[in-house]
Chains A and B, each alone.
Chain A
Amino acid sequence: MRRLIVRRLLQTLPMLFFVSIVCFILVKVAPGDPVRSFVTPNMHAADIERIRHNLGLDKPAYIQYFIWLKECLTGNFGYSLVNHKPVLGQIVERLPATAGLMASAIALAVILAIPMGLVAGANRNRWVDKLVNMIAYIGISLPLFWLAILLMYFFSIKMHWLPSMGMRTIGTNSALDVIKHGLLPCVVLAIGFLTVYVRYIRSSTISQLKEDYVQIQYAFGSAKRIILFRHVLKHVLLPVITLLGMSMGDLVAGAIVTETVFSWPGIGSLGMTAVRGMDYPVIMGITLFSSVLLILGNLLADILYGIVDPRIKTTR
């Protein structure tokens, strides 16, 4: 087990290197120029060139990459080209908002998805299954930004139950207030995750129900509910672990659309601003950060697999 972890962690390094190169190339190939974000029409060309030079943007792209890499290896993720604040500081500043929102959305989605998927799978093609499927289809088909606006319109503008934007009431700092602000974006995101999870769990339930051990339980005369929640559930949770591992990246990458619509001060909206301004140090920082978490999440999922399902451990 320890060897597995060390090996996987070592594999992480070339992977991150590769991710950073691809990301850098994409940013450089994309049209746009970071200098433009602070150029005004009455600036002189010579001044623009001077600023470009001061920022090191007049050097060839590969040299810019190595400068960035060198700084990165010494723990300095650079400064934003737009607001000149340290990249790491900006990410750390916004991390709690994004991580809190995403974690609660994923948790909500999992808590709802497990019973829904189990019941739907067990009652295949009956009305419960149809209902769950329908909800999943609606969830997949609805654009989240539209759903967000719809919920905002109903719960904030019409009913005045919840605030429509931001994370806090101006000037206050209470947990209850943050939860109130986070409820709508959390529900919207949870619906997005839920629809994917439900379909996984449903199909996994269907295949588990065909297994021999289920038939034996039936033969022993166990009740369907007990078979489902005591035996099938354990097996069904396996794909959920994989899904959760894959969602780790989302924890820091945030949700660009939802965060933007609800003015949630997370990493998603930071990333969108960075992409618009071609602010590559920030883009690289966010990409690397979420890659690390994605890789760690997958590693964690693999380790958990080994613990939950001894068969996997022996085959390795």
Chain B
Amino acid sequence: MRKYFSGVIILALLTMLVSACSGGSSGDSASSTDTSSDASQTSSGQPKDGGNLIIGVAADPVILNPNYAGDRVSLTIDQALYAPLFQVNNGKKTFYLADSLEPSADNLTYTMKLKSGLTWHDGEKLTADDVVFTIDKILDEKQNSMLRGNFIIGGKPIKAVKVDDTTVEFKLPQVSPAFEATLVQVSPIPKHIFENEADIEKSPKNNTPVGSGPFKFKEYKTGEYVTLDRFDNYFGGKPHLDSVTYRISKDANASNLALQNGEINMKYVDPQDAATIEATGNFDMKNYSEGRLSYLLFNEKSDTGLLAKKEVREALSYALNREELIQVAYTSPDYADPAKSFVTPDGLYHDNNVTTYDNDVNKAKELLQANGASGMKLRFIVSGGNKAQEAISLYVQQKLKEVGVNVEIQSMDASAFGDKFTDPNASDYELAAGGYIMGFDPDAYSILYTTGSDSNYNHYSNKEVDELFKQGAGEADTTKRGEIYKKLQETIASDAVIYPIAYTKTIVAVDKKYGGLDEAVLKPVVIFEDLSKLYLK
């Protein structure tokens, strides 16, 4: 009796606590929508100067130096701190530090002109010397830059040569149409700062970075925030905002609350949370393609050898329904476009009109029967806690059961999953859910699908595909190159190498008080391409 009584009290207290909170929410949200409508009435569309922006990020930046930045947060902050040479959106170039980039007639030399009068944040001149220095340091084997591999073509490095203060020539060892996609990743680092550093990666000078972007470094409080101030001499014009702060918040739930509380003005949100944030009415929700493909991996090297047969992979594809899968994994078709080609829509020569094996249970059963594979058992590895992967695996398990295939889901720790997924010899699983972002030049995909490549996690091998990738890499004629990659997309699709699920989108919530979102250009990973264009309404 006593125990029962205290149990009741606990329950009563808990319900009081919970209801107090939810009761508060209904009253308060009404008042907050009032204020926001007031604000929109008074605000005009004119860009105003002044104000701050707080961007929520999920981790500390690893290193604020574009030669080393590989993590999302460093890349995001570097985008405001260091101006790129140029950027590419939907195949169109926007020039930043560069003024033009022209290939020679034989496509072996690219001449780049820099804008004149460029300066670093500390007032020093930014010249061709800095660009050449940056490329040299990327190529330097002692400097551990992760961009190095891209500057090696056929075993030989690309050379950068200074012609005059604003002109740089890039000499390629062989024709490479993918060169522009390589150069787009480069943001020059200042020679006068790093000239005498033996190991740039470990240099304490990375703690007070000097860049050339719209915002300059002000302070970094470890674990708290990074603040950047307006750079008045930015070549693209003085930025509207006074400062941008990147606030570090590792817990997704907590940072969503901070967003609603106004302590963060802009951040990525998960599809699962998007509806809640949108319902507050205080945020512009921007969905945009990240150039990412989410797919189901067929491991052809598995010890059972079941998936090495094309017909079996076809049968498994027939058993699944892409629309349902998108609904299950990404909660709404708004957040993911159905995928058929292995090239993402932002990629050159992307073609989604390729062979697909659309949902047909009877065909799936027939094919399995004919290939002696009905009743087979497949192992699906999942990174525990990854919501999308877990949803995909459960859906696949249920759908394949309908065609008589048993799927055993093996959930594992994220790093164990990573080890297994990338291990070129892993043969103890058949299925996994993966995703990749490869950039706009289709040559980048060769490492995923050519025989024996380290990143060919499917262990797919097709001589025709190998040959086509080789041709595509060295073909300078755009029409011919386009045909090669169209053929590749068709071959890989009809071979059912992977089951493409969706081109996923990311969702960014931006406080409605900010304008200029379209001019700033939404960009995968780094959110905005040019933060100087954002302003307070």
Q: Which residue of A lies closest to B424 (CB)?
A: A45
**Cβ-defined partner of B149 (8 Å) among A32, A44, A82:** A44
Q: What A residues does B104 contact at CB under 8 A?
A: none
CA distance in complex: A150, B142 (Å): 50
**Cβ-defined partner of A94 (8 Å) among B10, B17, B202, B223:** B223
B residues 13-62 near A (Cβ < 8 Å) are: 13, 17, 20-21, 24-25, 28, 52, 54, 59-60, 62
Query: A84-B201, A260-B251, A263-B254 given as contacts; is B263 within 8 A of A163 (CB)?
Result: yes
**Interface-side segment among A35-43, A67-75, A308-316:** A35-43
B535 at the interface (CB under 8 A from A): no
CA distance in complex: A223, B413 (Å): 60
**Interface-side segment among B90-98, B396-404, B414-422, B458-466:** B414-422
Minimum CB–CB distance from A1 to chain B (whole Å) comes to 41
B146 at the interface (CB under 8 A from A): yes
Q: Do residues A263 and B436 form an inter-chain contact, with CB atoms below 8 A?
A: no
**Cβ-defined partner of B436 (8 Å) among A41, A154, A171, A278:** A41
CA distance in complex: A43, B436 (Å): 14
A residues 127-154 near B (Cβ < 8 Å) are: 130, 133-134, 137-138, 145, 148-150, 152-154
Q: What B residues does A133 contact at CB under 8 A?
A: 6
B517 at the interface (CB under 8 A from A): no
Q: Do residues B60 and A165 form an inter-chain contact, with CB atoms below 8 A?
A: no
Q: Do residues A31 and B419 form an inter-chain contact, with CB atoms below 8 A?
A: yes
Q: Do residues A164 and B222 form an inter-chain contact, with CB atoms below 8 A?
A: no
**Cβ-defined partner of B247 (8 Å) among A90, A153, A159, A166:** A166
Residue total for B at the interface (Cβ-Cβ under 8 A): 68
Minimum CB–CB distance from A220 to chain B (whole Å) comes to 35
B residues 441-456 near A (Cβ < 8 Å) are: 444, 447-448, 454-455
**Cβ-defined partner of A47 (8 Å) among B148, B201, B223, B253:** B148
B88 at the interface (CB under 8 A from A): no
Minimum CB–CB distance from B145 to chain A (whole Å) comes to 9
- With A83-B63, A149-B253, A260-B251 given, name 13 new contacts (CB 8 A): A31-B416, A33-B418, A33-B419, A41-B437, A44-B152, A47-B146, A150-B17, A153-B21, A159-B24, A163-B263, A164-B254, A167-B224, A262-B254
Q: What B residues does A170 contact at CB under 8 A?
A: 52, 54, 225, 227, 245, 247
Q: Do residues A38 and B146 form an inter-chain contact, with CB atoms below 8 A?
A: yes
Q: Do residues B28 and A158 form an inter-chain contact, with CB atoms below 8 A?
A: yes
Q: Do residues B257 and A153 form an inter-chain contact, with CB atoms below 8 A?
A: yes
**Cβ-defined partner of A38 (8 Å) among B70, B148, B149:** B70
Q: Do residues B152 and A149 form an inter-chain contact, with CB atoms below 8 A?
A: no
A79 at the interface (CB under 8 A from B): yes
Binary contact track B408-432/A, C-beta < 8 Å → 1, others 0:
0000111110110010000000000
Q: What A residues does B152 contact at CB under 8 A?
A: 44
A interface residue numbers (CB < 8 A to B): 30-33, 36-47, 50-51, 54, 79, 82-85, 90, 93-94, 97, 130, 133-134, 137-138, 145, 148-150, 152-154, 156-160, 163-168, 170-171, 260-266, 269-270, 272-273, 276, 278
CA distance in complex: A84, B25 (Å): 45
Q: Which residue of B lies closest to A266 (CB)?
A: B223
Q: Do residues A164 and B263 form an inter-chain contact, with CB atoms below 8 A?
A: yes
B interface residue numbers (CB < 8 A to A): 2, 6, 9-10, 13, 17, 20-21, 24-25, 28, 52, 54, 59-60, 62-63, 68, 70-71, 141-142, 144, 146, 148-150, 152, 201-202, 219, 221-225, 227, 245, 247-251, 253-255, 257-258, 260-261, 263, 412-416, 418-419, 422, 436-439, 444, 447-448, 454-455
Q: What B residues does A171 contact at CB under 8 A?
A: 219, 227
Q: Do residues B144 and A269 form an inter-chain contact, with CB atoms below 8 A?
A: no
Q: Do residues B21 and A165 form an inter-chain contact, with CB atoms below 8 A?
A: no
Q: Do residues B255 and A165 form an inter-chain contact, with CB atoms below 8 A?
A: yes
Q: Do residues A97 and B418 form an inter-chain contact, with CB atoms below 8 A?
A: no
Q: What A residues does B436 contact at CB under 8 A?
A: 41
Minimum CB–CB distance from B448 to chain A (whole Å) comes to 8
CA distance in complex: A206, B148 (Å): 70
**Cβ-defined partner of B258 (8 Å) among A41, A165, A273:** A165
Q: What A residues does B422 contact at CB under 8 A?
A: 36
Q: What A residues does B70 contact at CB under 8 A?
A: 38-40
Minimum CB–CB distance from A46 to chain B (whole Å) comes to 8
List of 6 A-B pairs having minimum Cβ-Cβ separation, nearest first: A265-B223, A32-B415, A44-B149, A31-B416, A158-B24, A45-B454
Minimum CB–CB distance from B258 to chain A (whole Å) comes to 5
Minimum CB–CB distance from B264 to chain A (whole Å) comes to 8
Q: Do residues A42 and B221 form an inter-chain contact, with CB atoms below 8 A?
A: no
Query: A94-B222, A153-B257, A170-B54 given as contacts; is B25 within 8 A of A158 (CB)?
Result: yes
15 A–B contacts from the bound complex (CB under 8 Å): A31-B418, A36-B418, A39-B146, A45-B454, A50-B144, A51-B144, A54-B142, A130-B6, A157-B257, A165-B247, A167-B224, A261-B254, A263-B247, A263-B255, A269-B250
Q: What A residues does B251 contact at CB under 8 A?
A: 145, 260-261, 263
